[in-house]
Chain A
Protein backbone atom coordinates (compact mmCIF):
# COMPACT_ATOMS: atom_id res chain seq x y z
CA UNK A 1 0.00 0.00 0.00
CA UNK A 2 2.87 2.27 0.90
CA UNK A 3 4.49 1.64 -2.48
CA UNK A 4 1.32 2.77 -4.27
CA UNK A 5 1.15 5.98 -2.26
CA UNK A 6 4.83 6.60 -3.06
CA UNK A 7 4.20 5.96 -6.78
CA UNK A 8 1.26 8.37 -6.84
CA UNK A 9 3.39 10.95 -5.04
CA UNK A 10 6.18 10.51 -7.63
CA UNK A 11 3.64 10.79 -10.45
CA UNK A 12 2.28 14.07 -9.01
CA UNK A 13 5.82 15.41 -8.67
CA UNK A 14 6.53 14.60 -12.32
CA UNK A 15 3.36 16.40 -13.42
CA UNK A 16 4.04 19.38 -11.11
CA UNK A 17 7.61 19.65 -12.36
CA UNK A 18 6.47 19.63 -16.00
CA UNK A 19 3.71 22.16 -15.37
CA UNK A 20 6.23 24.40 -13.63
CA UNK A 21 8.68 24.18 -16.53
CA UNK A 22 5.95 25.03 -19.04
CA UNK A 23 4.67 27.92 -16.90
CA UNK A 24 8.19 29.34 -16.76
CA UNK A 25 8.50 28.98 -20.52
CA UNK A 26 5.18 30.78 -21.03
CA UNK A 27 6.13 33.49 -18.57
CA UNK A 28 9.25 34.18 -20.63
CA UNK A 29 7.34 34.39 -23.94
CA UNK A 30 6.65 38.20 -23.81
CA UNK A 31 10.37 38.87 -23.27
CA UNK A 32 11.34 36.59 -26.13
CA UNK A 33 8.75 38.21 -28.39
CA UNK A 34 9.88 41.74 -27.46
CA UNK A 35 13.50 40.89 -28.13
CA UNK A 36 12.74 39.18 -31.46
CA UNK A 37 10.46 42.03 -32.54
CA UNK A 38 13.08 44.63 -31.66
CA UNK A 39 15.67 42.70 -33.61
CA UNK A 40 13.48 42.44 -36.74
CA UNK A 41 12.39 46.10 -36.66
CA UNK A 42 15.90 47.33 -35.90
CA UNK A 43 17.25 45.47 -38.91
CA UNK A 44 14.54 46.97 -41.14
CA UNK A 45 15.17 50.47 -39.80
CA UNK A 46 18.91 50.06 -40.31
CA UNK A 47 18.33 48.82 -43.87
CA UNK A 48 16.13 51.86 -44.55
CA UNK A 49 18.61 54.34 -43.04
CA UNK A 50 21.47 52.81 -44.96
CA UNK A 51 19.53 52.92 -48.26
CA UNK A 52 18.52 56.56 -47.64
CA UNK A 53 22.12 57.48 -46.79
CA UNK A 54 23.25 55.83 -50.05
CA UNK A 55 20.57 57.78 -51.91
CA UNK A 56 21.77 61.04 -50.30
CA UNK A 57 25.29 60.18 -51.42
CA UNK A 58 24.15 59.40 -54.96
CA UNK A 59 22.14 62.63 -55.02
CA UNK A 60 25.11 64.65 -53.75
CA UNK A 61 27.40 63.13 -56.40
CA UNK A 62 24.88 63.87 -59.13
CA UNK A 63 24.43 67.42 -57.77
CA UNK A 64 28.21 67.91 -57.83
CA UNK A 65 28.33 66.78 -61.45
CA UNK A 66 25.52 69.20 -62.37
CA UNK A 67 27.26 72.01 -60.48
CA UNK A 68 30.52 71.41 -62.39
CA UNK A 69 28.64 71.33 -65.70
CA UNK A 70 26.91 74.56 -64.73
CA UNK A 71 30.24 76.24 -63.90
CA UNK A 72 31.63 75.18 -67.28
CA UNK A 73 28.54 76.54 -69.01
CA UNK A 74 28.79 79.85 -67.11
CA UNK A 75 32.50 80.14 -67.97
CA UNK A 76 31.71 79.51 -71.59
CA UNK A 77 28.96 82.15 -71.85
CA UNK A 78 31.06 84.66 -69.90
CA UNK A 79 33.87 84.43 -72.47
CA UNK A 80 32.01 85.96 -75.40
CA UNK A 81 34.42 87.05 -78.15
CA UNK A 82 34.45 90.83 -78.55
CA UNK A 83 33.64 90.48 -82.28
CA UNK A 84 30.42 88.67 -81.40
CA UNK A 85 29.56 91.27 -78.81
CA UNK A 86 30.16 94.04 -81.36
CA UNK A 87 27.97 92.16 -83.84
CA UNK A 88 25.17 92.06 -81.24
CA UNK A 89 25.47 95.79 -80.54
CA UNK A 90 25.52 96.55 -84.29
CA UNK A 91 22.37 94.47 -84.82
CA UNK A 92 20.61 96.22 -81.91
CA UNK A 93 21.52 99.68 -83.24
CA UNK A 94 20.38 98.64 -86.72
CA UNK A 95 17.00 97.53 -85.36
CA UNK A 96 16.65 100.55 -83.12
CA UNK A 97 17.32 103.10 -85.82
CA UNK A 98 15.49 101.39 -88.65
Chain B
Protein backbone atom coordinates (compact mmCIF):
# COMPACT_ATOMS: atom_id res chain seq x y z
CA UNK B 1 0.00 0.00 0.00
CA UNK B 2 2.83 2.37 1.05
CA UNK B 3 4.83 1.49 -2.13
CA UNK B 4 1.88 2.46 -4.32
CA UNK B 5 1.48 5.79 -2.54
CA UNK B 6 5.16 6.65 -2.91
CA UNK B 7 4.98 5.91 -6.62
CA UNK B 8 1.96 8.19 -6.95
CA UNK B 9 3.77 11.00 -5.10
CA UNK B 10 6.83 10.56 -7.37
CA UNK B 11 4.63 10.61 -10.48
CA UNK B 12 2.96 13.87 -9.41
CA UNK B 13 6.33 15.57 -8.83
CA UNK B 14 7.89 14.12 -12.03
CA UNK B 15 4.94 15.29 -14.08
CA UNK B 16 5.30 18.80 -12.67
CA UNK B 17 9.01 18.81 -13.47
CA UNK B 18 8.36 17.66 -17.03
CA UNK B 19 5.71 20.35 -17.49
CA UNK B 20 8.04 22.95 -15.99
CA UNK B 21 10.74 21.91 -18.43
CA UNK B 22 8.32 22.35 -21.34
CA UNK B 23 7.30 25.79 -20.08
CA UNK B 24 10.98 26.78 -19.79
CA UNK B 25 11.79 25.50 -23.28
CA UNK B 26 8.82 27.37 -24.81
CA UNK B 27 9.63 30.55 -22.90
CA UNK B 28 13.30 30.46 -23.90
CA UNK B 29 12.39 29.79 -27.53
CA UNK B 30 10.07 32.81 -27.54
CA UNK B 31 12.77 34.99 -25.99
CA UNK B 32 15.37 33.81 -28.50
CA UNK B 33 12.94 34.39 -31.39
CA UNK B 34 12.27 37.98 -30.35
CA UNK B 35 15.96 38.68 -29.89
CA UNK B 36 16.86 37.12 -33.23
CA UNK B 37 14.13 39.19 -34.98
CA UNK B 38 15.38 42.38 -33.35
CA UNK B 39 18.99 41.53 -34.26
CA UNK B 40 18.04 40.99 -37.90
CA UNK B 41 16.22 44.32 -37.97
CA UNK B 42 19.13 46.18 -36.33
CA UNK B 43 21.55 44.53 -38.75
CA UNK B 44 19.40 45.68 -41.69
CA UNK B 45 19.48 49.24 -40.33
CA UNK B 46 23.25 49.02 -39.83
CA UNK B 47 23.64 47.78 -43.41
CA UNK B 48 21.57 50.73 -44.55
CA UNK B 49 23.97 53.09 -42.76
CA UNK B 50 27.01 51.58 -44.46
CA UNK B 51 25.38 50.60 -47.77
CA UNK B 52 26.34 53.73 -49.71
CA UNK B 53 29.56 54.31 -47.82
CA UNK B 54 31.87 53.69 -50.77
CA UNK B 55 29.94 56.18 -52.90
CA UNK B 56 29.88 58.69 -50.04
CA UNK B 57 33.65 58.35 -49.51
CA UNK B 58 34.33 58.77 -53.23
CA UNK B 59 32.11 61.85 -53.20
CA UNK B 60 34.08 63.31 -50.26
CA UNK B 61 37.41 62.76 -52.06
CA UNK B 62 36.07 64.01 -55.39
CA UNK B 63 34.62 67.15 -53.80
CA UNK B 64 37.96 68.09 -52.23
CA UNK B 65 39.85 67.30 -55.42
CA UNK B 66 37.51 69.23 -57.68
CA UNK B 67 37.50 72.23 -55.31
CA UNK B 68 41.30 72.32 -55.40
CA UNK B 69 41.43 71.80 -59.16
CA UNK B 70 38.96 74.67 -59.62
CA UNK B 71 41.07 76.86 -57.32
CA UNK B 72 44.23 75.94 -59.22
CA UNK B 73 42.54 76.60 -62.56
CA UNK B 74 41.33 80.03 -61.42
CA UNK B 75 44.78 80.91 -60.06
CA UNK B 76 46.36 79.81 -63.35
CA UNK B 77 43.90 81.87 -65.40
CA UNK B 78 44.37 84.91 -63.13
CA UNK B 79 48.16 84.67 -63.51
CA UNK B 80 47.86 84.20 -67.25
CA UNK B 81 45.56 87.24 -67.48
CA UNK B 82 47.97 89.30 -65.38
CA UNK B 83 50.85 88.39 -67.70
CA UNK B 84 48.77 89.08 -70.82
CA UNK B 85 47.70 92.42 -69.39
CA UNK B 86 51.36 93.30 -68.69
CA UNK B 87 52.33 92.34 -72.24
CA UNK B 88 49.48 94.45 -73.62
CA UNK B 89 50.89 97.39 -71.62
CA UNK B 90 54.26 96.71 -73.27
CA UNK B 91 52.48 96.71 -76.64
CA UNK B 92 50.93 100.09 -75.87
CA UNK B 93 54.28 101.46 -74.75
CA UNK B 94 55.82 100.17 -77.99
CA UNK B 95 53.03 101.89 -79.96
CA UNK B 96 53.89 105.20 -78.29
CA UNK B 97 57.51 104.74 -79.36
CA UNK B 98 56.33 103.82 -82.83
CA UNK B 99 54.29 107.05 -83.07
CA UNK B 100 57.28 109.16 -82.02
CA UNK B 101 59.40 107.74 -84.84
CA UNK B 102 58.35 109.75 -87.91
CA UNK B 103 60.04 107.46 -90.41
CA UNK B 104 57.89 104.49 -89.44
CA UNK B 105 54.79 106.34 -88.25
CA UNK B 106 54.19 108.57 -91.29
CA UNK B 107 53.79 105.67 -93.75
CA UNK B 108 51.42 104.01 -91.32
CA UNK B 109 49.39 107.20 -90.93
CA UNK B 110 49.23 107.67 -94.71
CA UNK B 111 47.97 104.12 -95.08
CA UNK B 112 45.38 104.60 -92.32
CA UNK B 113 44.10 107.83 -93.90
CA UNK B 114 43.94 106.19 -97.32
CA UNK B 115 41.97 103.24 -95.90
CA UNK B 116 39.57 105.65 -94.22
CA UNK B 117 39.08 107.76 -97.34
CA UNK B 118 38.51 104.64 -99.40
CA UNK B 119 35.82 103.41 -97.00
CA UNK B 120 33.82 106.67 -97.00
CA UNK B 121 31.22 106.76 -99.82
CA UNK B 122 31.57 110.53 -100.26
CA UNK B 123 33.64 112.77 -102.57
CA UNK B 124 34.67 115.18 -99.86
CA UNK B 125 35.99 113.85 -96.60
CA UNK B 126 37.37 115.25 -93.35
CA UNK B 127 40.40 113.74 -91.68
CA UNK B 128 40.83 114.13 -87.93
CA UNK B 129 44.18 113.59 -86.20
CA UNK B 130 45.53 113.86 -82.68
CA UNK B 131 46.61 117.32 -81.49
CA UNK B 132 50.24 116.20 -81.68
CA UNK B 133 49.82 114.99 -85.27
CA UNK B 134 47.96 118.17 -86.29
CA UNK B 135 50.92 120.18 -85.02
CA UNK B 136 53.35 117.81 -86.66
CA UNK B 137 51.68 117.52 -90.08
CA UNK B 138 49.70 120.76 -90.57
CA UNK B 139 50.93 122.52 -93.65
CA UNK B 140 52.62 119.40 -94.91
CA UNK B 141 51.44 117.38 -97.87
CA UNK B 142 50.12 114.57 -95.64
CA UNK B 143 46.64 114.42 -97.16
CA UNK B 144 47.93 114.95 -100.70
CA UNK B 145 50.38 112.12 -100.19
CA UNK B 146 47.62 109.90 -98.79
CA UNK B 147 45.37 110.64 -101.78
CA UNK B 148 48.23 110.07 -104.20
CA UNK B 149 48.56 106.47 -102.96
CA UNK B 150 44.96 105.86 -104.13
CA UNK B 151 43.30 105.86 -107.50
CA UNK B 152 40.64 108.43 -106.50
CA UNK B 153 39.14 111.82 -107.33
CA UNK B 154 38.09 112.45 -103.75
CA UNK B 155 39.22 115.52 -101.86
CA UNK B 156 40.20 115.62 -98.22
CA UNK B 157 40.53 118.38 -95.66
CA UNK B 158 42.16 118.29 -92.25
CA UNK B 159 39.70 118.74 -89.37
CA UNK B 160 40.59 121.44 -86.86
CA UNK B 161 39.13 119.37 -84.02
CA UNK B 162 41.83 117.20 -82.44
CA UNK B 163 41.31 113.53 -81.58
CA UNK B 164 42.10 111.85 -78.27
CA UNK B 165 44.34 109.18 -79.70
CA UNK B 166 47.85 107.81 -79.62
CA UNK B 167 48.00 107.71 -83.39
CA UNK B 168 46.08 107.11 -86.57
CA UNK B 169 43.14 109.05 -87.95
CA UNK B 170 39.38 109.23 -88.08
CA UNK B 171 37.98 109.89 -91.53
CA UNK B 172 34.42 111.21 -91.88
CA UNK B 173 32.10 112.31 -94.64
CA UNK B 174 31.61 116.06 -94.87
CA UNK B 175 28.20 115.86 -93.17
CA UNK B 176 29.68 113.62 -90.43
CA UNK B 177 27.12 110.92 -91.12
CA UNK B 178 29.73 108.30 -91.92
CA UNK B 179 32.90 107.88 -89.85
CA UNK B 180 35.72 105.42 -90.16
CA UNK B 181 37.91 105.02 -87.11
CA UNK B 182 41.47 104.19 -88.15
CA UNK B 183 43.12 105.08 -84.85
CA UNK B 184 45.52 102.72 -83.10
CA UNK B 185 43.07 102.36 -80.22
CA UNK B 186 40.36 101.19 -82.63
CA UNK B 187 42.77 98.74 -84.25
CA UNK B 188 43.87 97.53 -80.85
CA UNK B 189 40.27 96.98 -79.77
CA UNK B 190 39.39 95.27 -83.03
CA UNK B 191 42.35 92.93 -83.06
CA UNK B 192 42.56 92.32 -79.31
CA UNK B 193 41.18 88.74 -79.38
CA UNK B 194 43.61 87.82 -82.16
CA UNK B 195 46.52 89.57 -80.41
CA UNK B 196 45.80 87.81 -77.12
CA UNK B 197 45.60 84.46 -78.91
CA UNK B 198 48.93 85.07 -80.65
CA UNK B 199 50.63 86.29 -77.49
CA UNK B 200 49.28 83.27 -75.58
CA UNK B 201 50.53 80.93 -78.28
CA UNK B 202 54.05 82.32 -77.83
CA UNK B 203 54.06 82.65 -74.03
CA UNK B 204 52.03 79.59 -73.03
CA UNK B 205 52.61 76.89 -75.62
CA UNK B 206 50.78 73.74 -74.57
Contacts and interface: CB of A to CB of B under 8 A. Distances in A.
Contact of A78 (B20, B63, B83, B191): B83
A19 B42 CA distance: 29
Interface in B1-53: 5-6, 8-10, 12-13, 15-17, 19-21, 23-24, 26-28, 30-31, 34-35, 38-39, 41-43, 45-47, 49-50, 53
A51 B39 CA distance: 24
Contacts of A3: 5-6, 9
A67 B42 contact: no
Interface in A38-73: 40-41, 43-45, 47-48, 51-52, 54-56, 58-60, 62-63, 66-67, 69-70, 73
Given A43-B46, A70-B72, A77 B80 contact: yes
B184 interface: yes
Interface string A1-32: 00110111011101101110110011001001
Interface residues of A, number: 59
Contacts of A44: 45-47, 49-50
Nearest to A90: B94
A20 to B, nearest CB: 10
Contacts of B94: 89, 93
Nearest to B45: A41
Interface string B147-191: 000000000000000000000000000000000000010011001
Contacts of A32: 35
A66 B65 contact: yes
A69 B95 contact: no
Interface of A: 3-4, 6-8, 10-12, 14-15, 17-19, 21-22, 25-26, 29, 32-33, 36-37, 40-41, 43-45, 47-48, 51-52, 54-56, 58-60, 62-63, 66-67, 69-70, 73-74, 77-78, 80, 84-85, 87-89, 91-93, 95-97
28 contacts: A4-B5, A4-B8, A7-B12, A11-B12, A14-B20, A18-B24, A21-B27, A33-B35, A36-B39, A41-B42, A41-B45, A41-B49, A44-B45, A44-B46, A48-B56, A55-B58, A62-B68, A66-B72, A67-B71, A73-B76, A74-B75, A84-B203, A88-B87, A93-B98, A95-B194, A96-B95, A96-B188, A96-B195
